[in-house]
Amino acid sequence: MKKQLLFSAITAGLICSVNVQAAEDLSTMFSEGKTSGQVRMFYVDREYQGSSGTNNQRNSMAVGGHLKFETADYNGLNFATAVYTTNDINLFDYSDNASEDSLKKDPTLLGPDGSYSILGEAYVGYKRGNTSFKYGRMSFDSAMMGGDDARMLKNLFQGYVLTNKDITNVNIQLAHITKFAQGTFGNVYGAGGILGATSGYSAHDATSQVGSFKNMGEYAVGKNTNGVTSLMATYKNGNFKAKIGDDYAHDLYNTIYADASISWTCLFSDKVKPFFAAQAIKQNSVGDKLMKDSGLGGNGEIDSSYWAGKFGAKAGGFTGYVAYSTTGKNSATDSSYKNAIITQFGGMPAFTQGMVTRHQFLAGTDTTKFGASYSFKEMGTNASLAGYYASFDMDANSGYGGTRTATEAGFDAIYYPASVKNLQLRFRGNFPRDFAGSDATTTTGWNEYRLIANYNF
């Protein structure tokens, strides 16, 4: 509560410092404002395979996007609002039986009741010198929170955000987030569980809360909290970058994040530029330790860590890398989340995540990922092609299935047609194996393809 009062005081102070003539020029602020947005079409098709779960094929298609209006600044003050929408395109012959439809229609493009629209952004902003402030509904990213824009609509946030760039090469962000509106991708996690809680979403309900601004604690575990207080600093100087952040989820957990990366020119060829990056996450339960009320059992205790490294090289349009990560192991009596990295508000910064498989944050998981990409820009075509393979060596006490090695291969092709400015065409695929399974004989995997068109204006 004290932090919310502090941010409210900052808001009042900043707005009161604006020249009173702003009211006289309100019409100018709006007449000189700008409209922007995106139109998105998304088709997804997933064919399951394996002995565990439902052997079926499901798909879905939707059209939507967002439309945003932002006023011009006057003495640093501005306002903005944006509407987000996703609309079901029923191209396929689904049955009239709701339970059968739930097995055939992919849920990740829509809300709990199908199509929906949401006032996703509505904020007041103020800028003075190198300091900016926003209050209201907005897009937001921190070390462990984010939009996770993997399907039709991304996650959105409500709160206070203060940024400052007074220090050369340093960007500081201080925020207090009070509400979270889950986007459509999290719908795939259904009732949540430990998989949802380590993949960016709710531990108790990742379906019915889609498209609604919820108290952070209510969304995560079903209990109201005072939200998440976040501090993040980024530094960039030449070929060196670093980030450190602390996201304090009141009465849930505190997460400290750090990463750093550096690139250099190869001694044997100036056309080759190797790079190395390291990443660390430390998480501990705090306050009332409300993870105990999430439906996952346990006493709410979290004492977890994640370490990762990434090494690769770039030569012309080609980039290749290998990454490795590890998390601490649970004992047989620990709750599933004791040594897991819990991320419930869209944050997914891991070097080793797959396109869909995010098992790297489960307790006792060693993950290796190989990736490569090629940009065709030097050949005169604005297009790129990427591929990867990730392997997740999972411990028996992870809380998600039995001991096994889950894998995922995938590709991502992107093309910007020269004939249509601001149009992006994208074709993606992922092929997990042994994604879920209680033992060596029960496994679940799938082949999934996505066709996406984005038009920005």
Q: Note the pLDDT tens digit of each residue in 191-228.
A: 999 999 999 999 999 999 999 999 999 999 999 999 99
Kindly indicate the confidence band of residue 93, based on its pLDDT and cuts at 50, 70 and 90.
Answer: low
At 27 the pLDDT is: 79
More confident residue, 96 or 56: 56
Position 7 scores a pLDDT of 45
Span 301-350, pLDDT tens digits: 999 999 999 999 999 999 999 999 999 999 999 999 999 999 999 999 99
Residue range 392-415: mean pLDDT, rounded: 94
Q: What is the pLDDT of residue 90?
A: 86
What is residue 95's predicted lDDT score, i.e. its pLDDT?
58
Give the rounded percent of residues in the chain with a pLDDT score beyond 70.
91
- Tally of domains in the chain: 1
* Of 7 and 342, more confident: 342
Average pLDDT value for residue range 75-89 = 96
Query: What are the tens digits of pLDDT across the range 418-431?
Result: 999 999 999 999 99
Residue, of 20 and 403, whose pLDDT is higher: 403
pLDDT band with cut points at 50, 70 and 90 for residue 26: confident
Q: Using the predicted structure, report yes or no on whether residue 9 has a pLDDT greater than 80.
A: no
Predicted confidence at residue 98, as pLDDT, reads 52
CATH number, domain containing residue 55: 2.40.160.10
Q: Per-residue pLDDT for 456 more than 80?
A: yes
Residue 22 has pLDDT above 60, yes or no: no
Q: How confident is the model over 39-50, as a mean pLDDT? A: 94
Over residues 154-182, the mean pLDDT reads: 99
Share of the chain above pLDDT 90, in %: 84
Q: How many CB atoms within 10 Å of residue 375?
A: 18
pLDDT band at 50 (very low <50, low <70, confident <90, very high): confident
- Does residue 17 surpass a pLDDT of 70? no
Residue of 442 and 227 predicted with greater confidence: 227
Residue 377: pLDDT above 90?
yes
With a cut of 50, say whether residue 450 has pLDDT above it. yes
421 lies in which domain range?
2-456
pLDDT given for residue 275 in this prediction: 99
Residue 376 has pLDDT above 70, yes or no: yes
pLDDT average, residue stretch 167-195: 97
Q: What is the mean pLDDT of the chain?
A: 92
pLDDT of residue 91: 78
